[in-house]
Chain A
Amino acid sequence: MIVQTLDIGLAALVLTLAGWTVLAQATFPAVVSYVAYGLLLSLIWVRLFAVDVALTEAAIGGGVTGVLLIGASSKLRKAALSATEQELTPPLRWAIATLCVLATLALATVVLSLPDPSPTLAPEAVQNIAATGLGNPVTAVLIAYRAFDTMLEKCVLVLAVVGVWSLASDQYWGGAPGAPGAVTWDGALAFFAQLLPPLGILIGIRIFWIGADEPGGAFQGGAILAAMWMIIMMARLAEAPAIGERWMRIALAAGPIVFLGVGILGFVAGWGFLAYPAGFAKPLIIFVEIFMTLSIAATLPMLVAGPPIQAPRP
């Protein structure tokens, strides 16, 4: 009974915040609504008992995306808003609204007519988990059963970084993103940014490590490590590194390359592309995941920092 109140309340709140995000007059309220919306989504994921997803949403939706979007809204505030944009006529607006209502109804019909009992791959995932040496079926899906998806996802992240960097002006290529200097070591923010990372790094590594058996994993742990690097840069305790740095490039590419390398090793050694040998699966998986975690921790802050805006140092 109370659980239902909670679920209905969560649904109403999440819809309200989504409505504000989409329809608010000004950009900043919309962005703040979206940040609060991300927090609510992770509550809903907990209610669906998808704790791995809730952890991902908490790290990405609330933290990293919030920083990205708030920064963007401030940078774009200075740009003249598109005043020339022609207003949509009311009939057109209604037509669009009708279309969207129809799309919603179609999806709702699908939800209400889902087969019962639902088809599920959970038994297979649970049955075969012993072969991977893992205890968390979600991690097993990500890193073993559907390793190809995860490998490509890491490639997408690297491509996104390349895409962001490619927006740099020619004179800044190889330089650092973000404003230079202004290192202030005092103040509340600097104190916070010195206190938080030790604890955050510990928690990030823990979430990565327990991901083998409990909710957590390479992405969630890496995202928390990434956030710690971001707070250090936001407090100006350290500047963003130049994109030409060799260690930077290696850190970004290490995850997909090691993953692919282990995959090809499997192909050569005869246990199959992106597969793991029986009995030695878990150590190999952990080995791959360590590099993936590092890559994610390097990638996310670079995506948020944007293209370089400083000339490279000679």
Chain B
Amino acid sequence: MAEPHLPERQSPLEPEYNPGSHGNFEHGVDVILSETRLGSILQLAAWPGEEKRLIEVIRKVTGLALPDGAGGGVNNGARAVFGFAPGKFTVVDEAEGLAQAFAGLITPAIGTLTDLSHGRTAIRIAGPKAEWVMAKFFAIDFALPAFPLGAGRSTNHHDIFAQIQRSGADQFDIYVFRSFARSFWKALCHASEEVGYEVQ
């Protein structure tokens, strides 16, 4: 059932989204901030014991093979998946309609699918000081050995819950609740001023 073409979604960041260089950029831009505006953000959950079957469905639909282990994940540019809780995975796609691709495959025997494409906002931070800026918010270890490429983490900054995937050696994708996204974005920009940042 192909959806008819849908209009563009409104970004929650809009009035505060100011492309260009900011902060202490005269000394170099050390992080780049952007909203990735993904078409699909899904939560997939498997009943205990059904995780392997769910992972197999994810591979079939997205072509992404999840590595073993808690918080494991993988990212191929357009699509990404990572575990964020026992038996639970976030699967994203640049394109809309990923939920329909899973329709019928996540059977009641396996688990559930919840579409959060509107409810979560994806923010990317990239650059040599990405770890430094992230450490201002989250009490988790962002060093590469502790937080490997592709891996996912669930954490929070006070009231703001976040899922984070490392999508590059010095790049993180942060998923926050849409209603909090603007506040978090403002705080992220503020914290990035020290190192100089560019909004793309």
Partners in one complex: no
